[in-house]
A and B are shown apart, each in its own frame.
Chain A
Amino acid sequence: MAERRDVVDQATWVDRFSSLPAARRSLILLSPAFALIGAFGLAPLGLILVYSFLVPGTYGGVVWELSFGAYIQFLFERDIFDGTLTFHLSYLQIGARSVILAGLAVVGCLLIGFPTAYFIATRPPGLRNVLIFLVTVPFWTNLLVRTFSMMLILRDQGPLNSILMGIGIAEKPLSLLYTDFAIGLGLLYSFLPFMVLPIYASLERIDFRLVEAAYDLYANRWRVLQRILIPLSLPGIAGGCFLVFIPSLSSFLAPDLLGGGKHLMIGNLIAQQFGTARNWPFGAAAAMILLSLVLIALMIYARQVARRERNVA
Chain B
Amino acid sequence: MLRRLLGATAAILLAASLGTPRASAEGELNFYTWADYTSPELIEKFEAETGITVNIDTFASNEDLLAKMMAGATGYDIIVPGDYLVEILIKEDLLQRVEPNQLANFKNVEPRWIDVYWDPGRNYSIPWMWGTTSFNVNTDVFDGDIHTLAVLFDPPDVLKGRINMFQDSVEVINMALRYLGFPRCNSNPDEMRQVQDLLLRQKEWVRSYSMDPKELIVSGEVDATMNWDGYAIRTRAEKPSVAFAHPMEGYTGWMDNLAVPKGAENVENAMIFMDFMMVPENIALESNYVGVNGGIMGAAQYFDPELATAPELNAPQGTPDPEFVPACEDDVVRLYDQVWTNVMK
B70 CB–A CB distance under 8 Å: yes
- With A60-B66, A60-B70 as known contacts, state yes or no: A264 contacts B337, CB within 8 Å: no
Residues of B contacting A278 in the complex (Cβ-Cβ under 8 angstroms): 63, 66, 333
CB atoms of B170 and A274 under 8 A apart: no
CB distance from A146 to the nearest CB of B (A): 17
Residues of B contacting A60 in the complex (Cβ-Cβ under 8 angstroms): 63, 66-67, 70
CB atoms of B193 and A80 under 8 A apart: yes
CB distance from A70 to the nearest CB of B (A): 12
In Å, the complex CA distance between A155 and B207 comes to: 12
A133 CB–B CB distance under 8 Å: no
B297 CB–A CB distance under 8 Å: no
CB atoms of B221 and A177 under 8 A apart: yes
CB distance from B341 to the nearest CB of A (A): 5
B102 CB–A CB distance under 8 Å: no
Interface size class of B (residues with CB under 8 A): 35 or more
B344 CB–A CB distance under 8 Å: yes
Which of the 9-residue segments A3-11, A35-43, A122-130, A255-263 touches chain B? A255-263
Residues of A contacting B337 in the complex (Cβ-Cβ under 8 angstroms): 272, 276-277, 279
| Closest partner residue, chain A, to B88 (CB atom) | A59
CB atoms of A264 and B344 under 8 A apart: yes
User: How many of chain A's residues have a CB under 8 angstroms from any CB in B?
Assistant: 33
A94 CB–B CB distance under 8 Å: yes
Residues of A contacting B334 in the complex (Cβ-Cβ under 8 angstroms): 277, 279
Residues of A contacting B88 in the complex (Cβ-Cβ under 8 angstroms): 59
CB atoms of A91 and B341 under 8 A apart: yes
Residues of A contacting B161 in the complex (Cβ-Cβ under 8 angstroms): 175
- Contact pick for B345, options A261, A264, A275, CB 8 Å: A264
CB atoms of B209 and A81 under 8 A apart: no
CB atoms of B345 and A156 under 8 A apart: no
CB atoms of B330 and A263 under 8 A apart: no
A58 CB–B CB distance under 8 Å: yes
- Contact pick for B63, options A80, A256, A276, CB 8 Å: A276
| Closest partner residue, chain A, to B71 (CB atom) | A61
A226 CB–B CB distance under 8 Å: no
Residues of B contacting A275 in the complex (Cβ-Cβ under 8 angstroms): 61, 63-64, 67
In Å, the complex CA distance between A77 and B71 comes to: 29
| Closest partner residue, chain B, to A97 (CB atom) | B345
In Å, the complex CA distance between A157 and B223 comes to: 13
B219 CB–A CB distance under 8 Å: yes
- With A59-B327, A60-B66 as known contacts, state yes or no: A262 contacts B209, CB within 8 Å: yes
B151 CB–A CB distance under 8 Å: no
| Closest partner residue, chain B, to A269 (CB atom) | B341
CB atoms of A93 and B64 under 8 A apart: no
In Å, the complex CA distance between A38 and B202 comes to: 48
Which residues 55-99 of A sit at the B interface, judged by CB distance below 8 A? 57-61, 77, 80-81, 89-91, 93-94
CB distance from B84 to the nearest CB of A (A): 10
CB atoms of A178 and B208 under 8 A apart: yes
Fill in one digit per residue for A108-150: 1 if any B CB lies within 8 Å of its CB, else 0. 0000000000000000000000000000000000000000000
In Å, the complex CA distance between A91 and B161 comes to: 26
- Contact pick for A262, options B170, B221, B333, B344, CB 8 Å: B344
- Contact pick for B335, options A80, A155, A276, CB 8 Å: A80
| Closest partner residue, chain A, to B168 (CB atom) | A276
CB atoms of A260 and B210 under 8 A apart: yes
| Closest partner residue, chain B, to A173 (CB atom) | B220
| Closest partner residue, chain A, to B164 (CB atom) | A260
Fill in one digit per residue for B219-250: 1 if any A CB lies within 8 Å of its CB, else 0. 11100000000000000000000000000000
Which residues 51-86 of B sit at the A interface, judged by CB distance below 8 A? 61, 63-64, 66-67, 70-71
B92 CB–A CB distance under 8 Å: yes
- Contact pick for A261, options B167, B190, B342, CB 8 Å: B167
In Å, the complex CA distance between A81 and B207 comes to: 30
CB distance from B170 to the nearest CB of A (A): 6
| Closest partner residue, chain B, to A94 (CB atom) | B345
CB atoms of B66 and A260 under 8 A apart: no
CB atoms of B344 and A276 under 8 A apart: no
Which residues 184-228 of B sit at the A interface, judged by CB distance below 8 A? 189-190, 192-193, 196, 203, 206-210, 219-221
CB atoms of A260 and B345 under 8 A apart: no
Which residues 238-280 of A sit at the B interface, judged by CB distance below 8 A? 256, 260-264, 269, 272, 274-279
B169 CB–A CB distance under 8 Å: yes
| Closest partner residue, chain B, to A282 (CB atom) | B337
CB atoms of B207 and A178 under 8 A apart: yes
- Contact pick for A157, options B66, B169, B208, B219, CB 8 Å: B219
| Closest partner residue, chain A, to B339 (CB atom) | A80
| Closest partner residue, chain A, to B192 (CB atom) | A80
Fill in one digit per residue for B159-173: 1 if any A CB lies within 8 Å of its CB, else 0. 001000001111000
CB atoms of A262 and B70 under 8 A apart: no
The 3 closest A-B pairs by CB, nearest first: A260-B208, A261-B209, A275-B63
Known: A90-B341, A94-B345. 12 other contacts (CB 8 A): A59-B91, A89-B345, A156-B219, A157-B219, A175-B161, A177-B208, A260-B209, A260-B210, A261-B208, A263-B344, A277-B340, A279-B334
12 residue pairs from A and B, CB less than 8 Å apart? A59-B92, A80-B338, A94-B341, A155-B219, A157-B219, A260-B209, A260-B210, A262-B206, A269-B341, A276-B337, A277-B169, A277-B334
Chain B residues within CB distance 8 Å of chain A: 61, 63-64, 66-67, 70-71, 88, 91-92, 161, 167-170, 189-190, 192-193, 196, 203, 206-210, 219-221, 327, 330, 333-335, 337-342, 344-345
Chain A residues within CB distance 8 Å of chain B: 57-61, 77, 80-81, 89-91, 93-94, 155-157, 175, 177-178, 256, 260-264, 269, 272, 274-279
